[in-house]
Amino acid sequence: MRSVWPEIPAADRWLPYTEEATAANWHTNFGPTSKRFEQKLHALYGHADETVIATSSATAGLSACLIANGISGPVLCPAFTFQATACAILGAACTPVIIDVDPTNGVVSPECLQQALIETGAKAAIVLAPYGIQTDFATHAEICAKRGAILIIDNAAGLGVDRRGLSPVPYGNHVSEVFSLHATKPFGIGEGGAIFAAPGLDGAIRSAINFGLQTHTGAGHDATPRWGINGKLSEVMAAIGMAVSEDMGARVALRQAMAREWITALGDTGCHIFNTELAKAPWQVFPILLPDESRVLQFSEKMQGLGVEIRRYYQPSLGRCGGMARVGTCENAQNLSERVIVLPVRSWLTPEERSDLMEKTRLCITQCV
């Protein structure tokens, strides 16, 4: 069993959504299906005072937010994240500065964020919602606002739960949230991303993912940004996204139910369950912590022998990747990255298949812990 498994709808479900784009011979560059998909995402998950821009990937989305805001120089980046977060900063011609995270939840603490902003003078910070687990970043947003910095929330694996329940209004015009639509994510379409941002940034972000061109506005006026990347979502990917949106609620409910089963199955094994708040995530994977890296390696080897792939998100920590500046030693992130493993979550496994997987996992954990 692979650690993550795409759940892409069959072609007969998404092909009808391509008809309008096909009829117009408009296959990318903000076509009709992409616009329709953005409207759907906004209806499902957006605040009234937000815009949604579909992108070719979450990485492109993160870069676009920096470019659209005219950010240069240092950008704060958590040490506990996937390497793509730092790559997005580099892709926007900025400099990643790695900062540590809370030792318990893996999130950059408000105190660490504030100190790093002061020390580096950064005008932008990216914070991660680990494993797509919804996080309240209101304090972080307030800190950034006071320092004149923008805040970008990297919530790559988190699309699919009600983000409006966390905060009744957006955090502020200086805050954007970016999601991944990669095939392995709960809301997977193949390759794609989505930015939720202040409406005033809509034109600048679209320009940033279209080489800096302004022609999509129809006005042709000179405006910033004057450069950008190729980060647009294709009409085919948008069509797949429309099909996914049809039953995303049911998919997430099944994933949350399996996460609940994981909590019950592993409660007495000696591992530490990373988070038990089921409604806060669509559960791409189920993260747990073992006492140390040697036990992680033992567990992974035993599970591999039973035919189950185990992955280690986010390992190595960015504090140990080299080639990037950092604030402090980032030991908390390193400790988490050495101890965390992620277990498979599916929306379509039978009760027997789930039970078999969990029994194998329990056996291997007890043998290692």
Active site residues per annotation: 185
Supply the pLDDT for residue 338. 98
Q: What is the pLDDT of residue 208?
A: 96
pLDDT along the chain (369 residues), means of 10: 96 98 96 98 95 98 98 98 98 98 98 98 98 96 97 98 75 93 98 97 95 69 80 99 98 98 97 96 98 98 97 94 94 98 97 98 96
Do β-strands 150-154 and 95-99 pair in parallel, antiparallel, or remain unpaired?
Answer: unpaired
SS3 state of residue 110: helix
Q: Tokens representing 296?
A: 């992680």
For residue 292, what pLDDT is reported?
98
Distance CA 165, CA 45 (A): 10
Strands (E), the chain: 51-55, 74-78, 95-99, 124-128, 150-154, 175-180, 193-197, 272-273, 285-289, 325-326, 340-344
Q: What's the pLDDT at 165? A: 72
What is the distance between the terminal CA atoms of the chain, rounded to a whole angstrom? 23
Look-up of token digits 């789930």: 354
Which letter does DSSP use for residue 233 in this model?
P
Residue 12 CA to residue 14 CA, distance in Å, equals 6
Indicate the DSSP class of residue 16: G
Residue 25 burial (C-beta neighbours within 10 Å; 0-12, 13-18, 19+):
exposed
Structural element, H or E, at residue 243: helix 235-246
CA pair distance 151, 54, nearest whole angstrom: 19
Q: What's the confidence (pLDDT) of residue 214? A: 75
Amino acid (1-letter code) at residue 210 = N
Mean pLDDT of the chain: 95
pLDDT at 7: 96
Cα separation of 199 and 52, whole Å?
A: 8
pLDDT at 164: 81
On the 0-12 / 13-18 / 19+ scale of CB atoms within 10 A, 116 is buried
State the residue for tokens 């994977």: 285
Domains of the chain, each with CATH number or no CATH: 11-241 (3.40.640.10), 247-367 (3.90.1150.10)
Enter the pTM of the model: 0.96
51 strand-pairing partners: 197
